[in-house]
Amino acid sequence: MSNLEEIAKLSGFSKATVSRVLNKSRHVSPETREKILRVIREMDYVPNRNAVSLSKGRTMQLGMITSGITEVILPFMTSFVEVAAEYGFQTIIYTSDSDRSRELLAFEDLKQKRVDGLLILTCVNDSAVVSSYGKYGPIVSWQRMDHPDIPSVAMDQYDGYKLAVEHLLSLGVTKIANAFGRPSSLNTHRRIQAYEDLMSARGLAARRDWYFKAVYHLEDGQTVVRRLLGLPAGPSAAQSPARREAFAGEPGMLAAGEAEGLARSGASAGSLPGEAAGDGRSADERAFRPRLESPEAEAAPAEAFGGPHEDAVSGGPVRPYADEAPEPGELPQAIVCANDYVAAGVLSEARRLGWDVPGKLRIVSFDNMQIAETLGLTSVQNPIRDQAYNAFALLSPGLLGRQIALKPLTFGLVKRETT
């Protein structure tokens, strides 16, 4: 006698009624449901997931692909897991550590029907490779993907970054430094464009000598401040740039045609436009760990530059990657940061070194996570939870046979003590 038959016999109901209870059907009275569930509890019955999957033609499992897991992407991950669970789906997390072959295991699981759909947080395989798996099940991305067959919930970060820069300009702040994320990311390109468009519209020079790139974590924010003040970088700068990027979890993608163009020019896929290959360092090392002006500059203490306000840059500082040489004796009036954790690092290090916030330095962050409210950071509100909901909604036709309504997505600015 099968388990289903035994439950039916002991409860006094038909196998069809027992099946409806096991499948959480609403077409069972509360009294009947409770009687059957009591028998199930007494038998300590556990449904065979493989059998259920075969009967339904679905695994009720979704895959989530990411290079690594950090505080930056946890809110999105958590929100997606919650909404998927509301519809009866479990979520499996695939971490690749930026290894293409490891990442493809998730897509092979979709092909082998071990998962019903995939969500991409970060992806290192080519978008054409990714899209070829679309025939096996629905795929959606948080990362901006340069392929029409891969829907994305990513927002155009030009609009969000514009809010940050406009706010600073409205305060009369014109000397603005920027701490960007992944150099090759479409998000970074759009943020740069927003900053430069706004500066140009007001007849102001874009300060490319204050562009910091490959800035992901709290420690990186601290290093940005030390670079600006002409101090040696902290220990985080000594980490492998590729590994720091992998665990940053920052959604991003090479701009259309960029990888092909770089390959033709002889530069590496991670190089920045205008950079020369062959100096022994990766693109991110050049972006975040620039050459020193001189050995003496690296070793010199803060006092050698007259403190953090007046002449910190004039004594031979460490330069960030820049399109132009920085002007001696100048410091920015504000820093716009890649995310809230970078901004937290900027804030803590600036205050530790005596750089007055917001008197001498304004800070604007991005995402508006809990840490931004805790530290009083002015931050761009990024609707991450709604993006996660929309990710499931875009998967819903292939999972549920119907389209769940999408939520509207807009950026906002929350003004706090750092501006």
SS3 content of the chain, % helix, strand, coil (to 5): 45, 10, 45
The CATH number given to 157-382 is 3.40.50.2300
Task: Let me know if the fold of 59-155+385-411 is the same as that of 157-382.
Answer: yes
| pLDDT for res 357 | 98
Q: Contact, 164 vs 323, CB < 8 A?
A: no
Q: Contact, 273 vs 259, CB < 8 A?
A: no
| pLDDT for res 366 | 98
**% residues pLDDT > 70 (the chain):** 74
* Residue 148 CB contacts under 8 Å (≥ 6 apart), including other chains: none
Exposure pattern of 383-397 as b/e (b: 16+ CB <10 Å)? bbbbbbbbbbbbbbe
> What does the domain layout of the chain look like in residue ranges?
3-47, 59-155+385-411, 157-382
| pLDDT for res 238 | 55
- According to CATH, the topology of domain 3-47 is 434 Repressor (Amino-terminal Domain) (1.10.260)
Q: In the structure encoding, which two tokens stand for residue 351, read together?
A: 């205050």
| pLDDT for res 143 | 82
pTM: 0.70
153 to 165, 249, 318, 392: CA distances (angstroms):
24, 16, 38, 10
120 to 112, 116, 219, 404: CA distances (angstroms):
18, 14, 26, 19
| pLDDT for res 241 | 55
What are the residue ranges in the chain where pLDDT is below 70?
Answer: 1-2, 46-57, 234-329
| pLDDT for res 7 | 84
| pLDDT for res 338 | 96
Q: In the structure encoding, which two tokens stand for residue 272, read together?
A: 């920045």
| pLDDT for res 411 | 98
Q: Can you tell me the distance from the alpha carbon of 213 to that of 250, in angstroms, rounded to the nearest whole number?
A: 13
Q: Can you tell me the distance from the alpha carbon of 56 to that of 62, in angstroms, rounded to the nearest whole number?
A: 15
**% residues pLDDT > 90 (the chain):** 56
Q: Which of 66, 26, 50 is nearest to 249 (CA)?
A: 66
- According to CATH, the topology of domain 59-155+385-411 is Rossmann fold (3.40.50)
Q: In the structure encoding, which two tokens stand for residue 292, read together?
A: 């020193």
**Residue 146 DSSP class:** S
